[in-house]
A and B are shown apart, each in its own frame.
Chain A
Amino acid sequence: MKITTMVTGAALGVMLASTAMAAELTVVSFGGAYGAAQKKHMLDPYTAKTGTKILFEDYSGGIAEIKAQVEANNIQWDVVDIEVIDLERACSEGLLEVIPASVLAAGADGTPGAQDFIPSAIANECGVGNIVWTIIYAYNEKTIGSVKPTSIGDFFDTKKISGKRAMRKRPQVNMEWALIADGVAADKVYEVLATDAGQARAFAKLDTIKDDIVWFDSWSQVPQLLNDGGAVMGQSANGRIFDAIKKDGKPFKMVWDAHVYDLDVWAVVKGSKKKDLAFDFISFATGTKPLSGMPDVAYGPTRKSSMALVDPAVIPDLPTSHLDEGVKADGIFWADFGESLGEKFNEWLLK
């Protein structure tokens, strides 16, 4: 009996202690090297400045989890880092709060927020730009063999390069790449993809490598797959590969051909009980200094005033230095087609 009492007491103590130190703000992002950079330059300084405890959670992108929370009226997240390719859709489906203009803080040099941000960073009313990043593919020089890939066509050419290709398990970017590899001009991709014939063409191209694809959910998996031989090449956010090369000295090589560049924004989940705190966090996190830390993982800051603080050595690795080789991800296209292509893609996967 004594032991039981003691255990109960201890447990109650833990319980009380845990409510006392409950996190005040839940921030969700992509984890890995990117998450670490955000923690270092945005979350930790914010906690140090305001004393707000932050629970930092990882997710693998997409709008499904946010949608489930909003539709079930069970809001668990406050601030979320969202890819612009998904932002338009999330915003138009009422999953995010509209950001008040006051959130855009002035730059360190005094430039008003609305002028300091690059225009695409604040183009959507539901988010404030955080980074410019891109999706490239990379290969492991040790496992690739003698022929090295140089173009997006090579990624789809199993005769030229054999072995598994890692791809993110969703239609976005994969469909674009399939069309470009099949000969569609980069600037016509979304036009073609809006037609039934274009979609069929993209799936047909994906079919040719279906047996050689390793699907992943989270960007963190790619460096691992390349490293442990799970895949010889893989689609990746450029920062993950940059980090693996720079920090861990991995023999990875990036291919910039037809990279699909995009922004990430900070947004607030609709119905968050800590809306004002969330806006305050975003205002801080998208300030000149925190944003200037993002090039740690080769992502470009979305403020002009932050660019001035960036180490010049890292500039060639930023997506902004490769824009001519790339395609801009079309958030509006995916807002309209995300649902229907998502469903077709999943049925294609199960076939």
Chain B
Amino acid sequence: MSNTTTNVASTASSDNNKRGAAILTKEEARFARRELRRHKMTAFALVVPLLVFISFAFVAPILTMLHQGYYSPVVADLIPQTLEKLESWDGQGQPDKRVLTSMAIDLKRLAADRTSGKLAAEINRHKPGASSMVKSTARKLRRKDDADLAQNGAALLLAANKSWADAKTWQAVQKAGKIYTDGFYLTALDLERTFEGEIQIREATQIYIQLYTKTLRMALVITLMCLVLGYPLAYFLANAPSKTSNMLMIFVLLPFWTSLLVRTTAWIALLQTNGVVNSFLMELHVISEPLDMLYTEFSTIIAMTHILLPFMILPLYSVMKGIDKSYMRAAMSMGAKPIPAFLKVYLPNTLPGLSAGALLVFIISVGYYITPALVGGTDGQMISNIIAFHMQQSNNWGLAAALGTMLLILILTLYWVYDRFVGASNIKLG
């Protein structure tokens, strides 16, 4: 919306310039242009420091993350010689003796440098279970002397673990050796590339697509809950006398301003096995055994609804406040039934606030981390939690980056929609 105004303004001003040029003297026209340029420069100069700051503090990190998702130099750095020799291998059967010997020598070196674990972890991503094979072989070869390895490396490697004769092992080594890989993105989509280069559905467990679907479903449920709870309240507040509504608005704004951790703590206190809700219900004899509410998807949804509800209420309220009450009254006094009158007259008028609130709640909940991490248990985990898991627990940073990139694309698409329909700068802050 603001786009159009800017366009109109700039066309108008350039029109003025053209027309002005005919009327003003050359000197004056040049002055005017210089002034315009100066204004532009001043405005731009004011924005530049922040642009530089944001580029460094925010954009560069995001780009680094994108890069991490396809760049994986670890294996290529660890065993360059073996990989080079492996290049001529046709992918069938056991590779050349030279390759095996080279691997044996590399493994001894890695074991001594204590970096065999790194290699093992990388290869394991392409062949589950390979890590134990690499590590135990490295440990065994560490004690052999160099001359022996150069002579009988291949035999020693095979003696340490017979999986080194398996073509699948070497296919995994070759795949892991690629510096630029689409492997993390494929894994993030539950796909994999066969050795021949075909993309197929991953043979091992498929979890990520399901996780994205689950995240979107939870975000949708949360958005709908916010809508169902927020709409009537916003309507009530918008139509109440301003004294009442100002007073009651505190009930919306206080949670909004209260720390996220505090609100999450509150839900833990309420929902845990021995928590407030269970003790209350048991005191009333509604239930005899405490319900398992905390650490479930249910607790995640309810806590997140509570946390995000103000983001729904505030835009709805400000739109509803601007709607002329006489429309509804007129419709109703002319005998329209309340429900059709509401649907035909009132609801369409609230759509801007409704879409703003719903999109905002949806965008925020898709990328949420803290609340599911604290109250979600195993079922309430969302995509952000798995990204954090791969960052902090499994140390699979490439996969974390690939999953993060996909989440980012999803969010930016939603942001673009939001910007088009609502305008990014129209976000309401209470």
Contacts and interface: CB of A to CB of B under 8 A. Distances in A.
Interface string B193-209: 00000000000110100
A49 to B, nearest CB: 33
Given A92-B116, A93-B117, A230-B272, A344 B128 contact: yes
B264 interface: no
B117 A339 contact: yes
Q: Which of A94, A164, A335, A340 is the most central at the interface, judged by chain B CB atoms within 10 Å of its CB?
A: A340
Given A194-B132, A346-B394, A340 B124 contact: yes
Interface in B358-401: 377-378, 381, 386, 389, 391-395, 397
B306 to A, nearest CB: 22
Contacts of A93: 114-118
B201 to A, nearest CB: 15
Nearest to B207: A350
Contact of A343 (B114, B124, B272, B377): B124
B120 interface: yes
Interface in A222-237: 228-230
Contacts of A196: 129
Given A94-B117, A214-B295, A351-B205, A340 B393 contact: no
Contacts of B128: 340, 343-344
A5 to B, nearest CB: 23
B274 A229 contact: yes
Contacts, number: 91
Interface size class of B (residues with CB under 8 A): 35 or more
Contacts of A335: 117, 135
A229 B393 contact: no
A94 B115 contact: yes
Interface string B87-109: 00000000000000000000000
Interface in A197-242: 214-215, 228-230
Interface string A140-175: 000000000000000000000000100000000000
Contacts of A347: 204-205, 207
Interface residues of A, number: 35
B132 A340 contact: yes
Q: Which of A344, A347, A350, A351 is the most central at the interface, judged by chain B CB atoms within 10 Å of its CB?
A: A350
Contacts of B116: 92-93
Contacts of A64: 392-395
Given A350-B207, A350-B211, A65 B392 contact: yes
B273 A92 contact: no
Contacts of A344: 128-129
Q: Which of B113, B115, B205, B381 is the most central at the interface, judged by chain A CB atoms within 10 Å of its CB?
A: B205
Contact of A339 (B131, B290, B386): B131
A281 B132 CA distance: 34
B354 interface: no
Contacts of A91: 114
A67 interface: yes
Q: What 4 A-B pairs come out closest when comparing CB atoms? A: A93-B117, A94-B114, A339-B131, A336-B132
Given A91-B114, A92-B139, A214-B295, 17 more contacts: A64-B395, A65-B392, A92-B111, A93-B114, A93-B115, A93-B116, A94-B114, A94-B118, A214-B377, A340-B130, A343-B128, A347-B205, A347-B207, A349-B378, A350-B205, A350-B207, A351-B207
